[in-house]
Structure formats: C-alpha cells, structure tokens
Amino acid sequence: MRILFVGDVVGRSGRDAIDKHLASLRQNLRADVVIVNGENSSHGIGISSDICKGFYASGTDCITLGNHAWDNKEILTYIDRDPRLIRPINYPKALPGKGHYLHSLNDGRKILVINAMARLFMDPLDDPFDMTMSLVKAHPLGSAVQAIFVDFHGEASSEKMAFGHYLDGYVSAIVGTHTHIPTADNHVLNGGTAFMSDAGMTGDYDSVIGMKKDVPIQRFVKKISMDRLSPSEGEATLCGCLIETDDKNGRALKIGRVRIGPRLQSEMPDF
C-alpha cells in the first residue's frame, strides 16, 4: 500500500496548495490512500466543514487534527457526522468525534488511521502510548488490516521518537505533526515501522511557522503583543511524506519526503 501524508495545512495559502497539487500528487505518486492534517487550515486555527469537503474533493481520504481541533466551534457538531475527520484519540471521552478511522480501499484492503497527541509541552491529556497500543492490538497488522498509520501531534522530538520505538512493529507508520518544520529523519525502524519526527507544514514558509512575521517577532522581543496571529499569505510549500508498505504483514518498506513549493527545496521520493 502506498500512503501519502500531507503535514499541517495552514490558512488560505495552504488550502490553495492542496487545491493545486494534491490530485496530481496522488496520481503521480500512485498513492492508494491520502491523509491530510487540517487542524490549522481555517485562518490558521481549526477547520470547517466546507474546508473538509474541499479536501475530499481534492482527493483526501482522511483528515487528522490536533490541539486546535475545537477552535472552530462548528466542528463540535460536525465531527460526529463525518467519520473521515478524526481528532486525537486521547482527548476526553466526553468530546465528540473519534480518534481513528478504518478506511477500505476499492480492492478490499483496509488501513486504520489513528490521530494521537503528545503531552510534553502540550495539554495534559490521557496517555497516548497506552491508548494507541490498545487500539492497534484490537486491529492486528497484516490480518485485520493491511496497514496502520498514526499522526502523532506533538512538540518534543524526544517524545515522538519514544512513541515510534514503543509502537515499532505494531503499526506501519508514525509521522509527527505540530511543529510545522519538516525533519530529515525519515527512516524505517528495526521492527518495520516507518518514522518521521515531523512532516512539516503546508503553508507559506516566509513566515514564523505559517504566521505573518511581525506579531510573533514582537512577542519574542517585547514579551507583549496587542495583535492576533494571522496566517501568512504568500505561496505555500506543500510538505509531507510517502510510505510504501507490504500488504502481507503491514510493515513499511520505504518512506520518502514530499516537498513542492517556492521556499524549500523541492523533493520527491525515488520509489
């Protein structure tokens, strides 16, 4: 199975990049499944039902979220009606939505998509390690499902790496989101799980993690700001990765970086 994952979509410029590139990427990379993190796609924080529909129209199969999942209040009533939109599994159980989605391909193959959120420098949520492991053990890799993909939304690379090694061999791939900076550590772990600390953002890189530069600079320099953050509006660079797995056992064979845009050096997998 070939899985294309696109990192945090930020604002209008990020959505424009999805509209411009995703359909052709899916075709050119022969992706069987496309997963997009959309938690920053609505004005830089949250997501809306209309944005979800736009992502699906561009070829997205599943949308993951993160710590900005609820910033657009419409999602509180929409998410239960859209099983393809998932929020971190370790949010309180009383919240709407689910932390996983079981996607069936036209040929009968299945992939379990999981969204989990880290805790170091993040919100004090339930244990993502235990909750994710319990879920994947209920969906054995290579028998119940042909692949399992996890979007691990977190700040600290150490927690992401620990999470990857903890689940190595139980899932096909773990890719981090949230920092909006693409990392170069994409590789397959010893047990057959593809890993990358952060996919990076799909947004304008002439910015501070996707936001117009003046306000965050002011906050760092003066420790005070009277203005709100707003997404940078320049042309976005699409960042993500492609994973290829073995359908017989669900283990990853390869993981490569995907990058298209004007700011960062473009890159495509060689498989």
Query: What is the rounded distance in angstroms from the CA atom of residue 100 to the CA atom of residue 87?
Result: 8
Query: What is the rounded distance in angstroms from the CA atom of residue 249 to the CA atom of residue 260?
Result: 31
Is there a catalytic annotation at residue 153?
no
Number of helices and strands in the chain (H, E): 6, 12
User: How far is residue 213 from each of residues 19, 67, 168, 226, measured CA to CA in Å?
Assistant: 25, 22, 38, 14
User: How far is residue 21 from each of residues 25, 29, 164, measured CA to CA in Å?
Assistant: 6, 12, 29
Query: What is the rounded distance in angstroms from the CA atom of residue 176 to the CA atom of residue 116?
Result: 10
R_g of the chain computed on alpha carbons: 17
Query: What is the rounded distance in angstroms from the CA atom of residue 36 to the CA atom of residue 210?
Result: 16
Q: Are 93 and 109 in contact (CB under 8 A)?
A: no
Q: Catalytic residue among 21, 68, 103, 180, which?
A: 68
Query: What is the rounded distance in angstroms from the CA atom of residue 37 to the CA atom of residue 266?
Result: 20
Q: Are 8 and 201 in contact (CB under 8 A)?
A: yes
Q: Which two tokens stand for residue 232?
A: 């940078």
Q: In what order do the strands lie in the sheet with 33-37?
A: 85-86, 62-64, 33-37, 2-6, 238-245, 252-260
Task: Give the residue numbers marked as catalytic.
Answer: 68
